[in-house]
Structure 1
Amino acid sequence: MVATAAHGLDYCEYRSTPHPVQIRLAPSPTNLFAASLHFIPSSLSLHTLTCLDTLSHAAHKEATFSSSVLASTPFYARPTAIAWANATVLLAAAANGVSAYKIHPDGEPQQSTEDEPELNPVFEHIGVHAPLGKGVALNAIDVHGLEIAAAGDDGRVAIARINGQLVRVMGGLDTSRIAALQWRGANELVTASSSGQLTLMDTRQSGPGLRLSDQAHAPTPLNCLTIHPSQNDKLATGDANGVVGIWDLRNMSEAAVERLNVHSGDVWDVKFHPDYPGKIISCSEDGSICIARWSSDGIDSNPSWEPTSGLVRYQSRLHPLGFNSIDVHAEANVLVAAGDGGAIVIHQLD
């Protein structure tokens, strides 16, 4: 394991709606909006993030960011995942299917109807569909162009268009729970499961897909995955033992896996930095957010940001609980995270 440098976080606050499941930044190069999905009560929130006067606040060791909830709306099912289809359309997965919302950050009122007399001025509900049938909970969703991929508790994956049209259902992909999935191109998906396996699927073909596992270690449930932004034969996963794995898929017959033991609990989310993919960011049940340096030659244990460390670990004295979700805004180089207890963290990366 590489050396570790501990750091604090710029900004941490607690929201009255606890148990955030996920937080995702809107894909806008200029605006800092984040959507968060919550348990108890089930709800969606839209946050606007603001960078304060960095120099004056830093001099007084004050927060350099502020956050405010622009709007919240009830979510009438157990929520599991959210994804932005574009800068103004947000998708939310749950036990009753996928709901789509048109986001109006300016909060302009929408036309009321007899069926929906009190539409939320920010969250305009534009549809819901259950691609795997009623009662099949969806664990993960991802969007590529106009197509949504949604993974169900029953091991199936549905491909549907944003307008709700079902394209196809791919069954029997994994007998265990699919915890995460991501598009690897226009016609290929990767899933990660509780069996510790990755499955690569061509959506134009029938069959179970190509299954890959770490041959050098005992299988460990995978919780999350992310694909390298420019090299789609590289991806990272987070597992139940606190390990971030970097997979090299160039040799499909035997995937090479680099392992980095960065956490002491479940890794719930992992991201390549979108502009600096040599940085892998992960968050965990142990209450830490870690940034590890990676290169195509493997894990780089040489100094990266600190003269004596190859791994940067962030923890907040205000938030000792686990972190469930992270995201990075490329242009602003800002990290957001959601944690147990309703905590929302915003941090300016180096």
Structure 2
Amino acid sequence: MEDKVHGAFVGEKINKVRWKPKDLIESDIFLTGSWDNETNQLVLWLYPPNEDDADIYPCTIGTHPHDGDVTELKFINSNTFVVSSSVGSVKLLKIDNKEPHLAEFKEMVSWDNIHYFSFGGSSPCTGLACFEEDIVSVGEDGRLLLLTARQKKPVRRIEGADSCSLRCVCFLKHNEVLTGNLRGQMKVWDLKSSTDKPASTFMLSGEQIGASCVMHHPTQRHMVLAGGEDGSLTVWDLRHNTFPVTLLSAHSDTVSELQFHPDRPEHLFTCSTSGEVWHWNTSSMSRHARLGTTDFPRDENPWLNSDVAKHRLEVFTLMPQLHKPVNSLDVNMNRIVCGCDNEAVYVFKNVVL
């Protein structure tokens, strides 16, 4: 489905990858974070927007050492991002583009050892979510912390948010987050509540399948998708109830990450530890509904109709299955970048939307 796929060997396993945001134009810079090294790295890459040159590959424009495995990366704005670590810390860094092809990293705030086990030792921070300058961090220690880019002291700390490892988190509203744990329990938290108890709790599926990633729909925040350790995709409509609307058997192994296209949310992209990168397309169903050429309701989101999602979704593989996990992906305009355990990054150009 793609015009071109460029792979680049980077010499280290990539756990997270994110496009550097640019207003209204296609980004040509992305950020990677490694894992499983003695000293891990944050690396900034330039991928020039020259569509005519088939031999253009990403080149390094900046590096920064990182203590522990990089477990998550999130941009707050075009030059500032947060990174979490397997040693229990979260850091806020700023990118300084001194020259077009040269960048430096400046550490702004460091929240050290905010995740730790009661019996001693640091706990990996497993997930981050951002809403403007507010940051929520979760970890294997079952803690949930609310941070802000404006101060070093955490705004709020929920010590016993979960009795087992928390795996993923996303903001539903400015004061509301959703977490998923190792046993497949999903919890909605009201950050303004005076109690340290969840507003609601529900299960990923009927069995204790761990939640691996979660995100809301870009324009319909009540619609939430979660990936499971069994490769499944689960969909909820949180306006009505906490029972899954749709449960799809997808990848053959853990869903590493899922990303809606930010401007064209009828397109979803997923990657897996099975080495797969998939493109899910609901645009034809939405188009037929608008034209009245299908029995699918015009105003209904296809993901919220179980029969439609299971039998009419178009799913494409973006490249042949790799023999190593694909850990992360990110979408920008008509480009996708993904990072893998085969010590390579791949950029998909001219993705058909």
TM-score range, shorter chain: 0.7 to 0.9
State the TM-score, normalized to the length of structure 1. 0.83
- 1:192 touches 1:222 (CA, 8 Å); kept in 2? yes
- Alignment length, in residue pairs? 317
Contact 2:274/2:325, CA 8 A, preserved across alignment: yes
| Residue 21 of structure 1: aligned partner | 15
Aligned-CA RMSD value: 2.5
**TM-score, scaled to structure 2:** 0.82
Give 1:69-148 correspondences, 5 Å limit.
Answer: 69-94=60-85, 95-107=87-99, 122-130=104-112, 132=114, 135-148=122-135
Q: Counterparts in 2 of 1:197-212, with a 5 A limit?
A: 197-205=185-193, 206-209=195-198, 210-212=200-202
Structure 1: runs of 5 or more not aligned: 1-5, 109-119, 305-309
C-alpha displacement at 1:262, in angstroms?
2.2
Identity of aligned residues (%): 18
Task: Measure, in 2, the Cα distance between the counterparts of 1:96 and 1:7.
Answer: 38
Matches within 5 A, 1:108-257: 122-130=104-112, 132=114, 135-162=122-149, 163-205=151-193, 206-209=195-198, 210-214=200-204, 217-252=206-241, 254-257=242-245
Give distance in 1, aligned partners of 2:271 and 2:139: 24
Partner residue, 1:47: 45
Do 1:131 and 1:166's aligned partners in 2 also have CA atoms closer than 8 Å? Answer: no
Query: 1:265 Cα shift?
Result: 1.1
- Give the residue type in structure 1 aligned to 2:57: S
C-alpha contact (below 8 Å) 2:7/2:57 kept by paired residues: no
Q: Is residue 276–residue 326 contact of structure 2 (8 Å, CA) maintained in 1?
A: yes
Q: Deviations over 1:243-276 (max 9, x none)?
A: 1222222223x32231222211111101112112
Match of 2:342 in 1: 341
Write the letter of the residue equivalent to 2:245. V
Match for 2:28: what amino acid? L
Aligned to 1:326: 329
Is the 2:339–2:345 Cα contact (8 Å) retained in structure 1? yes
1:153, CA displacement in angstroms? 1.7
Tell me if structure 2 keeps the 8 A contact 1:293–1:300: no
Residues 249-328 of structure 1 aligned to structure 2 (within 5 Å): 249-252=238-241, 254-294=242-282, 295=302, 296-298=304-306, 299-300=308-309, 310-316=314-320, 319-328=322-331
Contact 1:7 1:312 in 2 (8 A): no
Q: What is the rounded CA distance, in whole Å, between the counterparts of 2:107 and 2:46 in structure 1?
A: 20
C-alpha contact 1:269 1:326 (8 A) present in aligned 2: yes
CA contact (8 A) 1:214 1:257 kept: no
- Verify the 8 A CA contact 1:19 1:339 in the aligned structure 2: yes
SS in 1 for 2:98: coil
Residues in 1 aligned to 2:157 and 2:40: alpha-carbon distance in whole angstroms? 27
Cα separation, partners in 2 of 1:171 and 1:9, compared to 1, 3 Å = farther
Q: Secondary structure at the match of 1:51?
A: coil
Going from structure 1 to structure 2, the CA distance change for 1:7 and 1:145 (only over 3 Å counts) comes to closer
> Is this contact kept in 2: 1:190–1:199, CA < 8 A?
yes
Separation in 1 of the partners of 2:341 and 2:4?
16
